[in-house]
A and B are shown apart, each in its own frame.
Chain A
Amino acid sequence: MPMNKPVSADQNPQPSAAVAAQIDALVARYPNPASALMPSIWAIMDELGFVSPAGVDLLTQKLEVTRARVQEVLTFYTMFRSEPQAQYVLQVCHNISCHIMGARTLIAHLEKRLGIRLGETTPDGKFALEGVECLGACGMGPCLQLGKHLYEHLTCDRVDELLESLRRGEVPRADTERELEA
């Protein structure tokens, strides 16, 4: 888990009523309340970007599970986060296929451009750089995940273009979005 500098003054936002209703619907859909834990965490993650202590409280109430159970699930899965995240979390695959195709060069390049090391967040809270395990895009490596999309066949030039766009607040069309429209 990377160390993230707080980006929001509010460290403990309350999930909205809409999210609470979403969790109720999940509990009704799943065979028992506890089995709705992962999708309920996702519902909070999708709104807040992380699961706040207030979010944990909501989960224990709605799903009839202990705080310990929520915490163990939150900490077991790498995509679940308990702290506010950077605006753009750049997750570069550093597993074998992407490594063969040059992931380390890409990571070194990103470190230089962002002025941070792998696992760190820029002081302005805008970018975090993470190394992640296989993203399932091995034939399209090296690749990088941002939100729910992947950028594939990356080169240092393409990474520079991506960073420039993100600095302007524009998220460029990802390769997996293209795949959907292809």
Chain B
Amino acid sequence: MKEYNILTSRFGRSDGHKLAVYEQEGGYQALRRVLGQGDPAAVRETVKEAGLRGRGGAGFPTGVKWGFVPQGAEEVYFFVNADESEPGTFKDRLLLDYDPHQTLEGTIISCFAVQAKLAFIYIRGEFGWLIDRVQAAVDEAYAAGYLGKNILGSGFDLEVIVHKGAGAYICGEETGLINSVEGRKGQPSIKPPFPAVAGFLGKPTIVNNVESVASVPWIINNGPQAYRAVGTEKSPGTKLFSVSGPVKKPGVYEIPLGLPFREFFNDWLGGMVEGEQLKAVIVGGSSVPVLPAAEVMNVNLDYESLQQAGTMLGSGGMIVIPESCDMVELIQVLMHFYYDESCGQCTPCREGTGWLHRIVKKLRRGEGTAEDLDLLAYVCNGMAGLTICPLADAAVMPMRSFLGKFRPEFEALIRETAVAGPQTRWPRGEQE
């Protein structure tokens, strides 16, 4: 079990968030180098060569995304997506908490690469304490001349605004996030045009996840080949996995992409806590298909392997489910979430998430029939791929996979309640 610290070298430290410490450990050297060379195209090329893939969930190559900004565009905006809201995900929180300057340096370099003069760091509203920390880092960077006019004498100007969200999962979707900063409801826009062409205020806009941006300084300092030396050919580098559930050591881990799950689970997480047994794992945040224990034990943790196994790497928000958990209960929790967070714009999602939630609730109330399981599948078919943004798919993927992989539990519930009759299944305060 080898330790990797491309992203996590200052995790768990009490002083890693301070500018002086960051500088002492080589911080802002990458920015100096990039500004000294003064070639934005070379930065884009380096990140493309490194093969860094967007860490927010979609896995789209970051350098390629940057390349979509029209050449010679006068007004370009850059957004750091710190609206970390995918259930099971809490990696960006630690990146910003323990090492805000790393993300900030990455932001400045990224802005230089796409020639953006204004960047927003969009932090979810629930991270109240974190907003203060990031703002403090931004203030330090201004004072030290890393932000503002004529950064380090290079002639490059950049302003950074820390923008506080206000509790909307959908704002993690890049067009929803852009609309939110425009002072609107965070409802996604149809693509194309892609934000890189027409985004914030109709201007070219790049939206990158915190972890993607935080990886940039290391790539500049060490070169794309060194980054590619970690991970697999198609999934280079390290990835943060945030692990929750009854494992011995939950938390955020930086692992080389391609690490076998079995090794990660046994050696890094220490397996399950005493008295619990592994039932299933949602490997990449609540929106990706669940894998039963027997299947997950044979996968490797990289984009391609997980896709082959019928799921996705997503945000790396790994939710470990013990045998003691009722899968119908868990899917009710998730369907409540997607129903709650659907922005209401597209009919298949607005109505579909409500249908899924109500049908699952009906099963749990003990009023379900076998036809309801077919109805769940039918509603899913009317949602997947039919909406502006992927929220409908994000609800359908767990619903279908829970139903597909754990159908006997749904059927057993229907059988039992047919005999025993309706009953309340949560302690109290049933979610509505």
Contact = CB atoms under 8 A, between A and B. Distances in A.
Contacts of B93: 136-137
Interface in A18-70: 29-32, 34-39, 41-42, 63, 65, 69
A182 B12 contact: yes
Question: Which has the most chain B C-beta neighbours within 10 Å: A34, A42, A79?
Answer: A79
Contacts of A73: 183-185
A136 B429 contact: no
Interface residues of A, number: 59
A133 B129 contact: no
A105 B89 contact: no
Contacts of A140: 90, 250
Interface string B122-137: 0011111111110000
B185 A38 contact: no
Contacts of A128: none
Nearest to B336: A94
A63 B184 CA distance: 13
B88 A96 contact: yes
B429 A69 contact: no
Contacts of A135: 126
A139 B168 contact: no
A42 B85 CA distance: 19
B86 A134 contact: yes
Contacts of A180: 97, 129, 133
Contacts of B428: 107-108, 111, 117
B131 to A, nearest CB: 8
Question: Which has the most chain B C-beta neighbours within 10 Å: A31, A39, A108, A177?
Answer: A31
A131 B118 CA distance: 36
Given A133-B340, A177-B129, A65 B201 contact: no
A29 B244 contact: no
Interface stretch (A4-12, A82-90, A144-152, A159-167): A144-152
B422 interface: no
Contacts, number: 176
Interface in A120-157: 131-141, 145, 147-150
B337 A134 contact: yes
A135 B89 CA distance: 9
B311 interface: no
A94 B336 CA distance: 10
Nearest to B320: A100
A97 B426 contact: no
Given A105-B427, A133-B169, A139-B252, A96 B128 contact: no
Contact of B182 (A35, A99, A138): A35
B314 interface: no
Contacts of A39: 163-164
B246 to A, nearest CB: 7
A95 B183 contact: no
Given A79-B126, A139-B242, A97 B14 contact: no
B144 interface: no
A179 B94 CA distance: 10
Nearest to B17: A180
A136 B164 contact: no
B128 A148 contact: yes
Contacts of A78: 166-168
A63 B183 CA distance: 10
Contacts of B131: 148
Question: Which has the most chain B C-beta neighbours within 10 Å: A37, A76, A108, A179?
Answer: A76
A72 interface: yes
A182 B17 CA distance: 11
Contacts of B317: 138
Interface in B88-109: 88-90, 92-93, 97
B201 A31 contact: yes
Contacts of B201: 31-32, 35
Interface in B175-214: 180-186, 200-201
A96 B250 contact: no
Contacts of A76: 168, 185-186, 343
Contact of A96 (B126, B186, B330): B330
Given A96-B87, A133-B87, A133-B341, A139 B167 contact: no
B330 A37 contact: no
B194 to A, nearest CB: 20
Interface string B313-340: 0000101011001000110011001001
A181 interface: yes
Given A96-B333, A138-B89, A38 B242 contact: no
Contacts of A138: 87-90, 242, 244, 250, 317, 319
8 contacts: A35-B183, A36-B183, A72-B185, A79-B126, A96-B319, A148-B128, A148-B132, A181-B14
8 nearest interchain CB pairs? A148-B128, A37-B183, A77-B166, A138-B244, A108-B427, A78-B167, A97-B244, A79-B167
